[in-house]
Structure 1
Amino acid sequence: MTRVGPSDGTRQRSEMMRRVRNKDTTPELYVRRLLHARGFRFRLHRRDLPGSPDIVLPAARTAIFVHGCFWHGHDCPRGRPPASNQAFWTPKLEANRRRDRAAVAALTAQGWQVEVLWQCTLKQSTEELVSRLETSRAPQRTAIEETR
């Protein structure tokens, strides 16, 4: 018989998985600190937006998702599904990927720019994102300063 939920032998693993956060993760805090240090102001986990993005920059109309490679099925070594208990993990991780795609599509349809930052490339992709945001913000600041 195929095991679907935790058994007595996996109680320790279940306890560890229970401690996994879905908000205020280390990668998310890294992105938030960098954005704030560069002068960006943002909102967190806006539940009124599809997918409840991790970080929302209302002025730039940008929604940012900070994805852990394992939980969101990234195509990298960290994103490999577990070899054990595949009857449980395969549908769970696929549902996460479907939900992610639906959230991105819905936000895009509402006119939001959506950025997905992956845990495995976090530092590089965050720096690139901040550079793009600063570039798009620069003409706005110049126009405001000229009117003063």
Structure 2
Amino acid sequence: MDNLSKKDRSLNMSHIKGKNTSLEILVRKKLFADGFRYKINDSSLPGKPDIVLPKYHTVIFVNGCFWHRHNCKLATIPKTNTEYWINKFKKNEENDEKNYRLLRNYGWHVIVVWECEIKEDVDKLIKSIEKELKDYLLNDVLYE
């Protein structure tokens, strides 16, 4: 049972951003400042990745821990309408895995960054992403 009316719940949910979130913008700004160029929300790719780095044939998903079920303290389950939320989260997870698998099958390198990682230490996270990109590019060039 939901504590809010359908109208109020709908209003609340309509205010949740699906793209250009503050976390996505923060990651993009840091990458751009370090010289990485990208596209955003490319609808021609499965899952419309948040960040697409064509030079590295890499996509980055900036996932909220709650919505995408990261194994951290931010991934709580609401106490009202619990069955609905469990089903919703399960569908989100299945959809994420399907999109990641399709992208990998198309030859894309997939990086997933989590909300808690960004909030904990965004600079450390960016360095980790950049190292992974450079390693991936190096390995890709070596094995072509």
Q: Is the 8 A contact 1:117 1:126 kept in 2?
A: no
Structure 1 equivalent of residue 112 of structure 2: 116
Q: Say if 2:38 is the partner of 1:33.
A: no
- After TM superposition, list the pairs within 5 Å mapping 1:81-120 onto structure 2: 81-120=77-116
Instruction: Could you list the structure 1 runs, at least 4 aligned residues long, displaced by more than 3 angstroms after superposition.
Output: 10-14, 134-138
The structure with the largest alpha-carbon Rg is 1
Structure 2 equivalent of residue 66 of structure 1: 62
Cα distance between partner residues in 2 of 1:89 and 1:75: 16
> CA distance change for structure 1 residues 33 and 22 in 2, over 3 Å: closer, same or farther?
same
Structure 2 equivalent of residue 133 of structure 1: 133
> CA distance change for structure 1 residues 6 and 46 in 2, over 3 Å: closer, same or farther?
farther
The one-letter amino acid of 1:83's match is K
Q: Is the 8 A contact 1:44 1:53 kept in 2?
A: yes
Structure 1 unaligned blocks of 5 or more = 139-148
The alpha-carbon deviation at position 80 of structure 1 amounts to 1.4
The alpha-carbon deviation at position 88 of structure 1 amounts to 1.5
The one-letter amino acid of 1:33's match is K
Return the TM-score normalized by structure 2: 0.84
- Report the aligned-residue RMSD: 2.2
Cα distance between partner residues in 2 of 1:78 and 1:130: 25
Structure 2 equivalent of residue 141 of structure 1: none
The alpha-carbon deviation at position 135 of structure 1 amounts to 5.5
Structure 2 unaligned blocks of 5 or more = 139-144
Q: Is the 8 A contact 1:73 1:81 kept in 2?
A: no
Give me the identity figure in percent: 35
The alpha-carbon deviation at position 18 of structure 1 amounts to 1.6
The alpha-carbon deviation at position 136 of structure 1 amounts to 5.6
The one-letter amino acid of 1:90's match is I
Return the TM-score normalized by structure 1: 0.81
Cα distance between partner residues in 1 of 2:52 and 2:75: 25
Q: Is the 8 A contact 1:81 1:89 kept in 2?
A: yes
The alpha-carbon deviation at position 16 of structure 1 amounts to 2.5
Structure 1 equivalent of residue 47 of structure 2: 51
Structure 2 equivalent of residue 18 of structure 1: 14
